[in-house]
């Protein structure tokens, strides 16, 4: 529409004018120079008349010199001379401002006779604390201005059907179409300036209690959350918090927020959930001992003691770890009675009371293991935070807490965030999409005691993915196991409206042997710079494999966990868990078909989870998606792959062996090569039941990895739990290397 009236506008003019036009349905009046785009900078490109005054607008990236600025202002004042403003005072003397609007972000500043604004600080014009004119005066001034400003055309949007005699009035729908058009053409920063009216309404809405924004991938949920944070920061002077489950996401979101609201630097805290709790507990001097390795060890020993009975129900180690992490501890269950009674949302495999009792043995064994090692796990951390908060609430409560990607937060985390936000209007905003849950489990908001009835919003227009990419992503069957709207119907990606046409998708299918060539070629042929692109995989094993391929090909990469949103010329790589919430112009995805298909209920649950993870990976791509499928299922290929993996492992074993000068029997432990305590070799000494590695010449120690070694290990523990069952030739877990990954790799 704007395009028709003003063909050839550049993106800056288009974005700014659309943003201003959207205000006209609230009583603002806009007059646009009919000769736009024109090179004439002696007169304003547009005049905006509204509650905060009359604005002569120059839309340009080049700051005008003093003479030009004075000339534009003089022209404006001449045109408005004699028109009375508030309380009969001359408008020209009191309420005419010259504003120069440039691209991108930045704080508003006074520059000679004009205000310099950017796309992102455009909102300053509409500040409520600077109201001068009322609706009647605006209409009277605009009417006179229209007569006096030759060469300018009045444009406005109207909500109702267009009636006769409404020339110059445009439909809101047309304006939205224009906005979608602008989003299609990019630059992507258009969200800084212009929100869809539905998005805008959520930003400004008053919520009497906790609110929820839901909607399929790419519909601008995070964008709305950021605008809302800015809005809340203007309403209240209290601190604000943006948090999420994923460790790396807050820093990327902070980078975007700093561009949107540079003036609010420091007002909003961006941190992941566990990071927040750690800081909070450390400020309160509450000791926290989270040690991943020890947690894994405790669980591995609990598993070894209970696996026989549990494997009859479901063989997978991961399944039971999830049960303890997400169902028992994640929901804050502390008694078998409660566990028997609970409905295990998100879990398809049913467990009867007897089976739950077996799981409970695993849980209690694990808890004992944690206590013996004097260590907390991540759920304990959250419970410690909740207890401390209940004991001594925050001195300065948050004015608002925004939780992004809420679908992956365990129930205990949701309860903590609810406590943290406290009661009161606008305090808690939960943002997410059940179809994008990448960790197993499930909950219902009411389980966490968070009532959102009547305050649930659903966004439906996908701005991120071009049509081709979107239609590719829609093929994934992503079952929602999170009841994020408390019973209300949600919208799936298949039902989302598409805002952008075009886009390219490519697929590849091949074997491990062919992967290297295909991947390097795909990266080299990316249609955009590598630093606007990412490679996403679903398993750590595939990540190291791809990282190695790219390293050998000389392609610089950056692990997603270190990505902060800055451009660095490197291809970002990581698992889907790290990629969620982000977007890139081009995305490469590598899927591995190696998983077994048993048809069991647990397998069905894994299949659902994979569907959601695939959807998340595909929807990270804006313009270009390369989807690779690694398929080694052909029998002769599978054999070849197994052989090449064996060769790879053997090579690795030799490499690791080189790390240590000692002649230790590596078959007992692949990492620290600790032998059973009864055969302590050269290089070890024992003291009070603890074995020490005490040779300073050990290269392994010199590499800085020896601290765990130096701390020693408890011989009784090791004898009882691990070495007691050593089978010669088979790798057995030990205190230091029996992580779940290690155990799986060695068939435990
Ligand atoms: N009003 C808008 N105009 C133009 N672009 C927009 C608008 N709203 C969002 N976008 C663009 O859409 C993309 C997706 O936005 P955002 O990340 O907020 O979506 P989301 O719903 O949180 O996505 P996901 O759930 O997949 O993480 C962003 O790149 C943003 O630039």
- Cα 80 to ligand 1 centre (Å): 41
Lowest-confidence segment of 310-314, 463-467, 727-731 by average pLDDT: 727-731
Residue 667: band (very low, low, confident or very high) from pLDDT cuts 50, 70, 90: very low
Tokens for 205, please give them.
């809405």
**For residues 617 and 716, which has the higher predicted lDDT (pLDDT)?**
617
Q: Give yes or no for residue 172 having a pLDDT over 70.
A: no
Q: Are strands 114-118 and 96-102 parallel, antiparallel or unpaired?
A: parallel
Residue with CA closest to ligand 1 atom 26: 217
CB atoms within 10 A of CB 68: 16
The pLDDT score that the predictor gives to residue 1 is 60
Closest ligand 1 atom to residue 462 Cα is 12
Mean of pLDDT values over 641-659? 40
CB atoms within 10 A of CB 363: 24
Contacts of 24 (CB under 8 A, 6+ apart): 30, 155, 156, 157
Most confident of the following: 215-229, 444-458, 592-606, 719-733: 215-229
Q: Give yes or no for residue 243 having a pLDDT over 70.
A: yes
Q: Give yes or no for residue 682 having a pLDDT over 90.
A: no
Asked if 386 contacts 416 with a C-beta cutoff of 8 angstroms, the reply is: yes
Residue 633: band (very low, low, confident or very high) from pLDDT cuts 50, 70, 90: confident
Mean of pLDDT values over 634-661? 42
Three-class SS state of 12: helix
Tokens for 266, please give them.
């420091």
Given this chain, do its domains 197-287+389-495 and 503-636 carry the same CATH topology?
Answer: yes
Asked if 515 contacts 549 with a C-beta cutoff of 8 angstroms, the reply is: yes
**Which residue among 434, 463, 503 has the greatest number of ligand 1 atoms within 8 angstroms of its CB, and so is best to mutate?**
463
Question: Annotation-wise, does 239 bind a ligand?
Answer: no
Residues 338-390: pLDDT tens digits?
A: 999 998 988 888 999 999 999 999 999 999 999 999 999 999 999 999 999 99
Q: Which CATH architecture has domain 503-636?
A: 3-Layer(aba) Sandwich (3.40)
Q: For residue 701, what is the DSSP state?
A: I
- Cα 582 to ligand 1 centre (Å): 10
Lowest-confidence segment of 54-58, 89-93, 145-149, 164-168 by average pLDDT: 164-168
The pLDDT score that the predictor gives to residue 202 is 93
Question: Up-side HSE of residue 181: CA atoms within 13 Å toward CB?
Answer: 16
Q: For residue 220, what is the DSSP state?
A: S
Residue with CA closest to ligand 1 atom 5: 191
Closest ligand 1 atom to residue 620 Cα is 26
Percentage of the residues of the chain whose pLDDT score is greater than 70: 75
Residue with CA closest to ligand 1 atom 28: 464
**Which residue among 22, 184, 186, 222 has the greatest number of ligand 1 atoms within 8 angstroms of its CB, and so is best to mutate?**
222
Mean of pLDDT values over 500-527? 92
What distances in angstroms separate CA 148 from CA 79, 82, 134, one per listed residue? 6, 12, 21
Q: b/e per residue, 599-618, with b = 16+ CB within 10 A?
A: ebebbebbebbbbbbbbbbb
Please state the length of the chain: 748
Question: Annotation-wise, does 68 bind a ligand?
Answer: no
Mean of pLDDT values over 669-691? 39
The pLDDT score that the predictor gives to residue 81 is 83
Closest ligand 1 atom to residue 194 Cα is 1
Mean of pLDDT values over 33-48? 85
Question: Annotation-wise, does 167 bind a ligand?
Answer: no
**Which residue among 104, 203, 223 has the greatest number of ligand 1 atoms within 8 angstroms of its CB, and so is best to mutate?**
223
Instruction: Label residue 503 left, alpha or beta by phi (over 0 means left) and psi (-120 to 50 means alpha).
Output: left
**What does residue 531 show for φ and ψ, rounded to 5 degrees?**
-75, -5
- Cα 219 to ligand 1 centre (Å): 5
Question: Annotation-wise, does 221 bind a ligand?
Answer: yes
The pLDDT score that the predictor gives to residue 438 is 83
**What does residue 289 show for φ and ψ, rounded to 5 degrees?**
-125, 85
Mean of pLDDT values over 687-706? 35
Distance CA 209, CA 456 (A): 11
Residue 697: band (very low, low, confident or very high) from pLDDT cuts 50, 70, 90: very low
Mean of pLDDT values over 614-629? 95
Tokens for 442, please give them.
């499930």
The pLDDT score that the predictor gives to residue 176 is 56
3-state SS record for 365-426: HHHHHHHHCCCECHHHHHHHHHHHHHHCCCCCCCCEEEECCHHHCCHHHHHHHHHHHCCCCC
Three-class SS state of 52: coil
* Closest residue by Cα to residue 726 from 663, 686, 675, 653: 675
- Cα 203 to ligand 1 centre (Å): 14
Strand locations in 132-247 (E): 152-158, 169-171, 211-214, 240-244
- Cα 497 to ligand 1 centre (Å): 13
Closest ligand 1 atom to residue 199 Cα is 1
CATH homologous superfamily of 197-287+389-495 equals P-loop containing nucleotide triphosphate hydrolases (3.40.50.300)
- Cα 407 to ligand 1 centre (Å): 17
Residues 557-610: pLDDT tens digits?
A: 999 989 988 888 899 999 999 999 999 999 999 998 765 556 677 778 888 888
- Which residues line ligand 1 at a C-beta cut-off of 6 Å? 183, 188, 190-191, 194-196, 199, 215, 217-223, 433, 436, 463-464, 581, 583, 619
The pLDDT score that the predictor gives to residue 516 is 94
- Cα 314 to ligand 1 centre (Å): 40
Closest ligand 1 atom to residue 463 Cα is 12
Asked if 715 contacts 736 with a C-beta cutoff of 8 angstroms, the reply is: no
Distance CA 21, CA 15 (A): 10
Closest ligand 1 atom to residue 580 Cα is 27
Q: Give yes or no for residue 325 having a pLDDT over 80.
A: yes
The pLDDT score that the predictor gives to residue 482 is 58
Helix, strand, coil tally for the chain in percent (to 5): 45, 20, 35
Question: Annotation-wise, does 322 bind a ligand?
Answer: no
**For residues 748 and 543, which has the higher predicted lDDT (pLDDT)?**
543
Closest ligand 1 atom to residue 433 Cα is 25
- Cα 221 to ligand 1 centre (Å): 6
Asked if 570 contacts 557 with a C-beta cutoff of 8 angstroms, the reply is: yes
Tokens for 637, please give them.
């290929």
- Cα 438 to ligand 1 centre (Å): 19
- Cα 23 to ligand 1 centre (Å): 21
Mean of pLDDT values over 464-482? 83
Closest ligand 1 atom to residue 222 Cα is 18
- CA dihedral of residues 560, 565, 569, 575 (deg, nearest 10): 20
Mean of pLDDT values over 657-662? 26
The pLDDT score that the predictor gives to residue 595 is 56
Mean of pLDDT values over 86-95? 71
Complex confidence, ipTM: 0.98
The ranges assigned to domains in the chain are: 2-191, 197-287+389-495, 292-375, 503-636, 659-745
Q: Give yes or no for residue 105 having a pLDDT over 90.
A: no
Closest ligand 1 atom to residue 432 Cα is 25
Tokens for 42, please give them.
């002696």
Residue with CA closest to ligand 1 atom 2: 191
Question: Annotation-wise, does 215 bind a ligand?
Answer: yes
Question: Annotation-wise, does 219 bind a ligand?
Answer: yes
- Cα 616 to ligand 1 centre (Å): 14
Tokens for 518, please give them.
């295909």
């Amino acid at each position: 529409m704007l395009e028709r009236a003003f063909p050839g506008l550049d993106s800056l003019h288009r974005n700014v004018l659309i943003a201003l036009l959207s205000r006209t349905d609230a009583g603002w009046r806009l007059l646009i120079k009919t000769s736009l785009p024109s090179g004439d900078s002696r007169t304003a490109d547009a005049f905006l008349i509204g509650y905060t005054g009359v604005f002569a607008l120059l839309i340009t990236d080049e700051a005008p010199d003093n003479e030009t600025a004075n000339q534009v202002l003089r022209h404006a004042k001449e045109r408005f001379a004699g028109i009375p403003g508030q309380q009969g005072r001359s408008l020209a003397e009191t309420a005419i401002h010259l504003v120069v609007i440039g691209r991108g972000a930045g704080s508003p500043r006074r520059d000679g006779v004009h205000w310099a604004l950017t796309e992102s600080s455009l909102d300053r014009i509409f500040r409520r604390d600077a109201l001068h004119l009322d609706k009647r005066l605006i209409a009277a001034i605009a009417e006179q201005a229209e007569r006096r400003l030759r060469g300018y055309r009045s444009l406005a949007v109207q909500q109702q059907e267009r009636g006769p005699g409404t020339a110059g009035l445009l439909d809101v729908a047309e304006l939205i179409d224009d906005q979608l058009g602008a989003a299609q053409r990019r630059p992507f920063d258009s969200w800084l300036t212009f929100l869809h009216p539905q998005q805008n309404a959520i930003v400004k809405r008053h919520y009497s209690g906790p609110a929820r924004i839901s909607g399929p991938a790419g519909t601008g949920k995070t964008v709305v959350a950021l605008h809302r944070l800015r809005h809340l920061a203007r309403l209240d002077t209290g601190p604000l918090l943006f948090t999420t489950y994923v460790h790396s996401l807050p820093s990327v979101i902070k980078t975007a927020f700093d561009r949107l609201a540079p003036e609010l630097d420091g007002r909003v805290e961006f941190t992941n959930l566990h990071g927040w709790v750690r800081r909070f507990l450390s400020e309160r001097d509450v000791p926290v001992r989270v040690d991943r390795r020890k947690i894994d060890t405790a669980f591995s020993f609990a598993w070894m003691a209970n696996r026989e009975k549990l494997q009859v129900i479901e063989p997978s180690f991961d399944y039971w770890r999830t049960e303890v992490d997400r169902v028992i501890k994640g929901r804050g269950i502390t008694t078998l009675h409660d566990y028997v009674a609970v409905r295990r949302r998100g879990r398809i495999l049913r467990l009867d009371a007897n089976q739950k009792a077996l799981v409970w043995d695993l849980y209690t064994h694990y808890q004992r293991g944690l206590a013996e090692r004097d260590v907390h796990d991540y759920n304990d951390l959250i419970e410690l935070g909740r207890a401390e908060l209940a004991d001594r609430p925050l001195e300065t409560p948050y004015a608002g807490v925004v939780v992004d990607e809420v679908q992956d937060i365990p129930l205990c985390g949701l309860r903590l965030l609810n406590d943290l936000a406290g009661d009161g209007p606008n305090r808690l905003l939960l943002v997410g999409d059940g179809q994008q849950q990448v960790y197993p489990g499930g909950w219902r908001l009411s389980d966490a005691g968070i009532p959102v009835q009547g305050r649930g919003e659903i966004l439906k227009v996908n701005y991120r993915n071009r049509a081709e990419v979107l239609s590719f992503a829609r093929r994934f069957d992503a079952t929602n196991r999170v009841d994020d709207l408390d019973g209300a119907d949600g919208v799936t990606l298949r039902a989302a409206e598409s805002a952008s046409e075009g886009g390219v998708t490519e697929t590849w299918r091949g074997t491990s042997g062919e992967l290297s060539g295909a991947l390097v070629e795909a990266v080299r042929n990316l249609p955009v710079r590598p630093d606007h692109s990412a490679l996403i995989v679903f398993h750590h094993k595939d990540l190291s494999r791809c990282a190695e391929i790219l390293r050998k090909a000389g392609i610089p990469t950056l692990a997603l966990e270190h990505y902060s949103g800055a451009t660095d010329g490197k291809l970002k790589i990581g698992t889907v868990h790290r990629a969620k919430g982000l977007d890139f112009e081009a995305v490469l995805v590598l899927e591995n078909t190696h998983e077994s298909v048993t048809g069991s209920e647990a397998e069905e649950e894994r299949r659902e989870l994979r569907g959601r993870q695939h959807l998340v990976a595909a929807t990270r791509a804006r313009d270009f998606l390369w989807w690779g499928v690694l398929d080694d299922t052909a029998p002769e290929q599978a054999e070849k792959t197994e052989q090449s993996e064996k060769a790879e492992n053997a090579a690795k074993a030799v490499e690791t062996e080189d790390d240590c000068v000692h002649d230790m029997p590596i078959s007992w432990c692949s990492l620290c090569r600790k032998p059973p305590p009864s055969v302590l070799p050269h290089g070890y000494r024992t003291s009070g039941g603890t074995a020490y590695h005490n040779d300073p010449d050990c290269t392994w120690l010199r590499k800085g990895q020896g601290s765990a070694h130096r701390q020693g290990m408890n011989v009784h523990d090791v004898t009882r739990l691990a070495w007691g069952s050593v089978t010669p030739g088979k790798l057995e877990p030990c205190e230091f290397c029996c992580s779940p990954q290690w155990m799986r790799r060695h068939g435990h």
